[in-house]
Structure 1
């Protein structure tokens, strides 16, 4: 029965590792989206500066601004979705960790009980050897 528990522990460790990898991927995606957002804001500031300094360039700024606003909106939606997915993945990882710990604690309990039984058997065997030695010495 103990080998079954070891198998469950290995399975749950694998599941926990998978959850951790998925969370790391989502966090990497969130970082990329944050970088994209920062880059867009820098582009907007640069275009605004160009539009202010050159009257000819200001004619194209309206189209750029519309596209930038749309990109900003899409990025914000993507960030919100990824943040939601990160929250869910974090919760799933915590649940997987708790489940793994339950099995590990169960195995530790079994190991302690088996160790106590082994020690009891060893002590009984040693007591018997000592008793038979004592009995032999008394008989001689």
Structure 2
């Protein structure tokens, strides 16, 4: 039983670790999306300031071009993170399933132990009752 308790603790730790990983990836994606949105806003603001929206125009602002590149890099990174997120979510689901299986085995073992203890107690009570009955009590 002690080894199973250790395994359960280990599996719970693994589940918690996978949950943390999923949360961290989700937070990074949200940060990248937020930063990309801010860059979009800055690009629009710069385009409005100079009055040029055509990226191919010779006087298109260098700042806006650089911001577009940073935005595109952030979006690409967020897309890569979506792949990592899917893998992390799959690993989390797998870890949760393993934990559930082990916990169910532990519950069944504990139920068997309780039933065996109840049966032993009932047998002892039956024996005492039988002795009392034999002595006329």
Query: TM-score when scaled to structure 2?
Result: 0.90
Unaligned 5+ residue runs, structure 1? none
Please say if 1:127 is aligned against 2:135: no
Larger relative helix fraction: 1
The residue number in structure 2 matching 1:93 is 92
CA RMSD of aligned residues (A): 1.8
Q: Aligned ranges for residues 1-140 of structure 1 at < 5 Å?
A: 2-52=1-51, 61-137=60-136
CA offset at residue 111 of structure 1? 0.6
TM-score by length of 1: 0.88
Paired positions, count:
133
Deviation at 1:59, TM superposition (A): 7.1
Query: How far did residue 28 of structure 1 move?
Result: 0.9
Give the Cα–Cα distance (whole angstroms) in 1 for the partners of residues 89 and 106 of structure 2.
26
- 3-state SS of paired residue (1:61): coil
3-state SS, counterpart of residue 137 of structure 1: coil
Whole-Å Cα distance in 1 between the matches of residues 87 and 73 of structure 2?
Answer: 21
Question: 2:13, 2:132 → 1: CA distance?
Answer: 53
Instruction: List runs of 5+ in structure 2 lacking aligned partners.
Output: none
